[in-house]
Structure formats: C-alpha cells, structure tokens
Homo-oligomer: A and B are copies of this chain.
C-alpha cells in the first residue's frame, strides 16, 4: 500500500537513476540522453531535473562532485550509489506491478459479476 501511491506520480527519479547506471554524468547530459533514449518522447526540463537530482542526493541515492575540465565550464557530476541501484530496481519492479494491475483492471471484467444489491 505504502508505495503504490508514490509510484503513480513521478517516473522522473526512476528515469534519472537509469541513465546514471553505466557511469557518472552531469545534469545537462542526463537531460539530453533521456531525450535521445526515448526518441524525444520524454522532454526532461531543467526545472524538473535539478530539483529531482537534489532530492535524490538528499536521499543518498546519488552523489555529486564538481569537475572543471579545461575548456569547459564547471559541471556537477552525479554518481549512482549502491542504495541508488537498489532503489532503481525496486522502483522499476513497482512500475511493472502498477502497469500490470492497471491494464488488468482496465481490460478484465469481474470474474463473477454480482447483480446490484438491494
């Protein structure tokens, strides 16, 4: 019960964690990659991304460090943590459960339809 209300809202943290899985990345890079991965379906905006990243960091699911490569402006790189990987797997599974239940509920009629009670 506790989780299903939460996962109805917010696929954003899930998407962010998934792109951080292979290697550390910075915010702008995450935005671009999410757009590319979804062929433009998910338009991740800065106002959605950065607060989400800060919250993920507060929860200990990602860690950040500033890096200043010469010739580039400073970038804040985010690394997924061990608990971040666990949270990603869990959230992914919860989404699958939610979706399965949604479509089951939408498509399946009642097993034994009862007439309207008096």
Contact = CB atoms under 8 A, between A and B. Distances in A.
A41 B116 contact: no
A38 interface: yes
B92 A37 contact: no
Contacts of A14: 106
Contact of A4 (B1, B34, B41): B41
Interface in A1-27: 1, 4, 8-9, 11, 14-15, 18, 22
A104 B42 CA distance: 11
Contacts of A37: 104-105, 108-110
Contacts of A4: 41-42
A82 to B, nearest CB: 19
